Each structure stands twice: as C-alpha cells, then as structure tokens.
Structure 1
C-alpha cells in the first residue's frame, strides 16, 4: 500500500494537483461512502426506496472508477480518462438488466458514476489546492455525486406525488436547500462580479426564492417555512428539543466570543469542547425529534458553508469576524482557503442520518437504528474528544510513527463503551449482539483514529457506521 500510495502521490503532483501536506494519500478512504450506502441497502431491504437502490447500484460504479483511477495513476502515470469506459459499461449494463430502467437512463447513470465523478474529483482537487488528500476529496465528491443524483430523481418523482410523509418532506427540503447553497457557491466561483456585497446578497436571495422556496411550494402545495415552524412548535417534546438547541447555540457563541476577546489560539481541548456540545445538542433530537434533527443538521451545514464563503470573500457585516474566528479556532489541517475542519463537524454529526435509508421510525425517533445514526457523535463527539483531552494531558506512550498516544486511544475506547453501556442500561439499545458489534466498532475506529492522517471528522463516522450497520 505504501508503494502504491507513493506512486499515486507522485502522479497527481505531476498533474499539477496540490494535496493537503503532511498527510498520506488516503487511498483506503476511497471505498467508505460507497460501502456505507451498499451495506445499508443490503441490511435494510424493507426500508430502502427505489431511489436508494439506484444510489446503491451507482456506488458500484463509483467503486470501479476509484479503483481504476488508482491503478491508472500507479501504472500509466498522468490520468487521462481512458480508464472510464469499463466502469461506465458495467454500470450501464447493471442498471439496464437489474432495474429495467431503459437504455438512456442506464447509460446516463453509468456516465455520471464514472466520467462525472472523475471530472469532479480533479476539479475539486485543483480548485481547492492543499485542502484535501486524495482520499478526503474522494469522500466529498462521491457524496456530492450521490446527493445530486438522488436529488434530481427525488424531485422528478415528487412532482407527480400527491401526499408526503414527514421524512419525505424533510428529505425534499434538505435536498433542494443544500443544492441551492451549492449553486450559490458555484456562481461565486464562476462570476467574479458576484463576490462583492450587494451582488452577492442579491444573488443569494434570488437563488433561495426561485430555486428553493418557489419550487418547494409548487411541489408540496404548502409553505416549507411554515411547515418547519410548525414542526418546531408541534408539541412540548419538540419545543424542549428546540430549547436545548437554542441554549447550546448561545453557549457556543459565548465560549467563542470569550476566546476571541483573549485573541489566543484555541487549544485542541478547547476546540473539542464544541464536539461535546454537539453531542449534547444532537442526542436529544435523535431520541425525541428525529425528523426535525434531520432537517436541522442539513440547515447547520448549509449555514456553515455560507458563512465560510462570506469569510473567504470578506463580505460585510460578518466576513471579517468569521476570519478572526477562523484564525483563533483553525486547525493545523486547515491549510487551504476553506475552513474545512469547522465544516466537517456538522458533517460528522449528520452524515450517518443522510446515509441511512430510514433513520427515523414511526415514533419520530432513531429507535432501533440509534447506534448507527450516532456513529459521528460516538466516534468524534465522544471518542475523539476523550482521546485529545487525555492524550494531551496524560499521554506518555506514543504509537509508532504517530503523534497520538496509547493513553488517548484507551480513553477513546473507554468513553465510547461507557456511553453505549448507558444507552443499553436505560433501554435505548438492546441485544448482546449489538453490544459485541459496538465493542468491535469502537476498538477498530479508535485504533484508526490513532494511526490515520486523514481528517477524523470525515472518515471515522463513516468507518464506524459501516461496522455498526
């Protein structure tokens, strides 16, 4: 693997791609997103929709393209796209023969999973130099491909739909909302004239109105904003969850403001405090108001992305304040233009919900799927935080070729095991098999946290999710 990784790194460097320094290429990360979707589809055959089945089959094309991309880089040098015909053909035949979707749809799916993924991967690595390793970029691009693919299919399918369940409505709002944020980012990249305050805000408002609110109103036949507000005040349980979120947000703001006044660089432990806060805010929502938490996680991610665009463009009134916060709280892995470690925290919390085919049950709780849906909260919010705190304060024995300590890894394992045991003791999870599987997932994920140079917030939730599902 080391020799293969070196060959790929040299190839992409000759191709003019600048990856995140002081990190390996992360080739082992390539299969995580496709495997998470495929395993979910296999483990929950009764819950998966037709669109999710399409996405799972598309993941096979993503896996093929990733494998051939690595092999092409290691053997032939600079990638030129000639290796994409085989995965395109295999995916097309799979769609046509298994789902009977028709030749046009099948070949479009095949092309999207190969050429679309390959082109977007290179585009992302070039446009955001030094921001990703190759593996990290693959996760982001694979997720983007799957998101766009399922969004288009879901919107087309929803146009003729008469009634919507709570999760279907939530999913549609999330998909069009995130797609609108992506459109805003792309327009800023494509047109320099939109990088000034007045044009930017006019464009953002126009995009939200005509690409989000109007389409949603036409498809759903009711206001999405009023629907979300009604969801927030629907009952006492929902209002309690919203109150916890408001209190947590205010606390996070006060903590950040206090750190900013001192103008001192935040320590690792101070940054991890936000991880613990995320656990305290997300967990009640998963247990009591799953659909609302589903929407909230996407809204938080979208807000973070818009804030980072404002920071990069230094747009008033908050652009400079965001930049000052980034200077104080920025991680040593934030060497590109974007504050990716900050964006990855809501991703870590929410990505298990986005990947799972049915994260919320009929009682609007994560229910039987609580542990898989909590993968990000366990691995990052609990495990990674405990490892950083104990490792920085008490760590004496370091893992070979790593800054991480054995004491930190043990703290990660013990802290997550205690949380799982508490969930088991109070009846939120059940079954000895679940405990055994959880123990294996915790140990494997904690050991990977100690050894990997990839972004923890991005890879650990996916790895734990696969092991738990």
Structure 2
C-alpha cells in the first residue's frame, strides 16, 4: 500500500513539474510575441532568459544570511530583494503588453520598494524615512534604467541579461553613494581604504571620459579633442587622489606597486601576459582572419591565468588590478563607438576579427561579460573561512570549464544534447577540467580547504549542465550559478 502511494505521488509530482514548465514556456513565448508586436528587438536567442533575474539577488541574500557580513553588504542584499520583486512584476507586465517598455509606467515600483524598505527597517534598524527613501530611489531607478536599456540598445541584451546588468549598475551606484555619504560602522584597514580610494577615483575618471565622448558633436570627433578630454580627466584623477589619499598619493601608489617584491613579480607576470595578448590581437587584425571559437577561448585562458594567480597570491592587488582592467575595457569600448580617427577604426577592425556571434547589438558585451564574470567574485564574496574556493567561481566556470568544453566538444563532441548544439563529451570534459584544476591547486598546497574536491564536483556538474542548456551568454551567467552552487555546498566545509 505504501509503495503504491509513493508511486502515485511520483506521478502527480511529474505531472505538476511538466505543467509548471509548460506555463513558464508559454509566458516566455507570449513575451517574445509582445516584443515582436511592439517592434522591440532583444538579442537573438531561443528564450528571453527570464530566470536570470534571480541570480544576483540570490547570491547576495545567501551570503547575507550565512555569514557575518558588513552592514553595507546587508543593505545591498535587502535592496536586491526589492529589485528582484520588481523584476518578477515586470515579467508579469510584459507578458500582458510591451506598453510597460514604451511608457513611463511605474506599476509595482511602490510595492517592490516597500519590500526592501521593510527589510531595512526591521533587520538593519534603519529609520523609516531612510528605509523608504533609499529603497524607492533604488527600485524606481532600476525600473527606468531597465526600460531604457532594452529600448535604446536593440539586439544587445535578452530580458534576463538586461536585468542582471541593470541590477549590477544600480547596486554598485548605491554602494558607492552609501559608502561616501553614510557611516555604516564598517571598519577597514589602511591598505583596503587606500585600494578603494584608488578604485573609486579610477572608475569615476573613466565615467567622466565616457560621458564626454558621448556628448561630442560630429565636428569634434578628432584626436586633438580626445587629447584634451584625457588631460582634463587626468587632472581630475590627480585632484581626487589628493583629496581621498593625501598629497603624497602618487608616491604611495608607486610604493604600493613597486616596493614589494611579490607584488612586482605578480605585476610583471600580468604585464607579460597583457603584452602577449595585445601582440596576438594586432597580428590577427592585420591578417583580417576571423577568429574561431577555440581561438577566442584562448583569451579566456590568459585572463583566467591572471585572475587565478592574483586570487591565490595577492587578493587585494588583484582587486585593484581588476578595477583598472574593467575601467580600461569601458574606455576602450567607448573609444570604439566614438568614431575618432585613427583610434576608433583600429579598434573596430580588431572587434570585427574577434567578435562573437552573440555580439550583434550596440556594444561588445561578450568580452565585457568575460571580464566581469572573472572579477565579480572579488566583489560578491565576503571574507569568511574557506572563501578562497568561491573567489575562483569565475575562473573555474568560464575560464577553465567553458573553455575546456568548447575545445574538447569541437574535436570529440559526437553526441549532442537533444535540444541543442552542445555535446555530451564537451559537458563531461567541462566538469572534469574544473575538478582537475582544484585537485592540482590542492596537490601543490595552493588551495587547502576541507572537501574542496567534493564541492567542486557538485558545483561543476551544475554549472556544466547550465552551460550545455542555456542560450544566455555563458560569461555572465555561469559565475553567478557557480557561486550559488558553492554557497549551497558550503555545509560540507
């Protein structure tokens, strides 16, 4: 009797799961039809990636619940819950009509803002006015920026990718504003304070340059104007460093980078890799030979070596270098789109050679996603016992696993997944390569953590299956999926 009841429950569960899947697929198809009827062009993909909206809030919330994190981290985690709430309501709205994209309709913003405000008020003991104001600003900004991103940058993002990108922008902006405006009681040592000051100065300088390039008239788009913009931005950076770091800011920066032998070795190693990559790009651009997927993945390996070495040997220097690299990528992409001769045509030629088939929109998002995917654990993972493995989430999932799957699958991928072009052999090698990488680090005593192999095996399997099944950009999705899987398996350590 008991076995019959269990069999009946299993049948009911399968039917329920199938019905839920059908409903979700139906909603996705309806959104696609609404976007087409409204002449809204998202990045070509078989689905809209609606599930992606849960990834970043889930990572932040799980860390906030599991560990002793800073007040600022908790604040951002609670704000992300409000952004997730609005994302789910946005999906409901757009499944009915695409009018929410074309009109200033803020339906759901108030309810979503109140969700975050309630969390801030109860768990962080923030004042009622502060909680409501802070949450409403975040959610209303998210609503407006999400609509602008989808409408103004056709074929650049799917709905899910746009949600992740805009969530990241809003949360980063709120973090910077809070850090410089309010005292959260978070204590930082002198080195960390110095690094953050340099990072904020660097990124704000890049922001000024990009804004100036966007505002240029067609008659101003020449090299002399670019030189003037860079000079003004450089003066701003020096002034900000003087204000935030001190009058000896340049000397302190030079001392930090070059008066420590280990930092110098690491810095020279990264510089050698950067020079080699630049040299290869220049040669292939001159030849004008379109790069294959395997060729592009070789840059995944180089970038992963940089991040792996930095995370293993000097996390703080890696954080500073990652911010510099991110700013450089934003600046380079802005120059490519600025139509300033002779710089912009040269960058466009390199893009034409190395562009991915997913880069059909306004910007080169795939390399940007690669860099952000490798670097995001440095921002998202709080310091706790055994956190070094989680810092490698991007390196393992896209630097090692995704690259290995692409290479092995292209050569030996004879058996394809039923509903895609990815191969079973590629997925298997994806999982194996991640486990082998962590085993090698453990064998050479570079990563000594309890149950790291078991955790990596579980996490790699999950990320490998997602990589095989998803049509969203791997570089953006897989690091977040890997972080969630590592959080779930953290009970083993």
Q: Aligned in 2, Cα 1:429/1:403: closer, same or farther, shift over 3 Å?
A: same
The answer on 1:206 being equivalent to 2:232 is yes
Conserved? CA contact 1:297–1:349, under 8 Å: no
Which region of structure 1 is more displaced relative to structure 2, 231-240 or 94-103? 94-103
Q: Aligned in 2, Cα 1:49/1:312: closer, same or farther, shift over 3 Å?
A: same
Q: Aligned in 2, Cα 1:464/1:163: closer, same or farther, shift over 3 Å?
A: closer
For residues 32-431 of structure 1, the aligned pairs below 5 Å read: 32-45=55-68, 48-75=69-96, 78-79=99-100, 80-157=105-182, 164-190=189-215, 192=217, 195-210=221-236, 212-358=237-383, 368-431=386-449
- SS class of match (1:296): helix
Conserved? CA contact 1:9–1:25, under 8 Å: yes
Partner Cα separation in structure 1 for residue 330 and residue 179 of structure 2: 23
Aligned to 2:14: none
Partner Cα separation in structure 2 for residue 277 and residue 425 of structure 1: 22
Which region of structure 1 is more displaced relative to structure 2, 345-354 or 216-225? 216-225
Q: Aligned in 2, Cα 1:415/1:162: closer, same or farther, shift over 3 Å?
A: closer
Give the C-alpha shift of residue 432 in structure 1: 4.7
The answer on 1:447 being equivalent to 2:465 is yes
Q: Aligned in 2, Cα 1:71/1:51: closer, same or farther, shift over 3 Å?
A: same
The TM-score normalised by the length of structure 1 is: 0.91
Partner Cα separation in structure 2 for residue 177 and residue 104 of structure 1: 33
Alignment length (residue pairs): 459
The TM-score normalised by the length of structure 2 is: 0.87
Partner Cα separation in structure 1 for residue 123 and residue 443 of structure 2: 44
The answer on 1:6 being equivalent to 2:33 is no
Give the C-alpha shift of residue 289 in structure 1: 1.6
Partner Cα separation in structure 2 for residue 202 and residue 358 of structure 1: 42
Unaligned runs of 5+ in 1: 360-366
Give the C-alpha shift of residue 222 in structure 1: 4.6
Conserved? CA contact 2:71–2:184, under 8 Å: no
Partner Cα separation in structure 2 for residue 58 and residue 195 of structure 1: 40
- SS class of match (2:108): helix
Conserved? CA contact 2:45–2:158, under 8 Å: no
Which region of structure 1 is more displaced relative to structure 2, 325-334 or 219-228? 219-228
Partner Cα separation in structure 1 for residue 192 and residue 44 of structure 2: 41
Conserved? CA contact 1:147–1:175, under 8 Å: no
Partner Cα separation in structure 1 for residue 35 and residue 128 of structure 2: 35
Conserved? CA contact 1:391–1:408, under 8 Å: yes
Q: Aligned in 2, Cα 1:53/1:168: closer, same or farther, shift over 3 Å?
A: farther
Aligned to 1:363: none
State the superposition RMSD in angstroms.
Answer: 2.4
Partner Cα separation in structure 1 for residue 191 and residue 27 of structure 2: 47
Which region of structure 1 is more displaced relative to structure 2, 448-457 or 157-166? 157-166
Partner Cα separation in structure 2 for residue 315 and residue 298 of structure 1: 25
Give the C-alpha shift of residue 276 in structure 1: 0.8
Partner Cα separation in structure 2 for residue 198 and residue 460 of structure 1: 42
Give the C-alpha shift of residue 160 in structure 1: 11
Q: Aligned in 2, Cα 1:100/1:208: closer, same or farther, shift over 3 Å?
A: farther
Give the C-alpha shift of residue 150 in structure 1: 0.4
- SS class of match (1:100): coil
Conserved? CA contact 2:223–2:340, under 8 Å: yes
Q: Which runs of 4+ in 1 moved over 6 A?
A: 158-163
1:176-212 Cα deviation digits (max 9, x unpaired)? 42243234334433554665544444334434533x4
Conserved? CA contact 1:231–1:292, under 8 Å: no
Give the C-alpha shift of residue 61 in structure 1: 0.6
Conserved? CA contact 2:71–2:185, under 8 Å: no
Q: Aligned in 2, Cα 1:77/1:235: closer, same or farther, shift over 3 Å?
A: closer
Q: Aligned in 2, Cα 1:276/1:105: closer, same or farther, shift over 3 Å?
A: same
Q: Aligned in 2, Cα 1:192/1:23: closer, same or farther, shift over 3 Å?
A: farther
- SS class of match (1:31): helix
Conserved? CA contact 2:431–2:464, under 8 Å: yes
- SS class of match (2:197): helix
The structure that has the greater radius of gyration is 2
Conserved? CA contact 2:241–2:249, under 8 Å: yes
Partner Cα separation in structure 2 for residue 100 and residue 197 of structure 1: 53
Conserved? CA contact 1:12–1:78, under 8 Å: no
Give the C-alpha shift of residue 22 in structure 1: 2.9
Q: Aligned in 2, Cα 1:266/1:112: closer, same or farther, shift over 3 Å?
A: same
Partner Cα separation in structure 1 for residue 133 and residue 43 of structure 2: 33
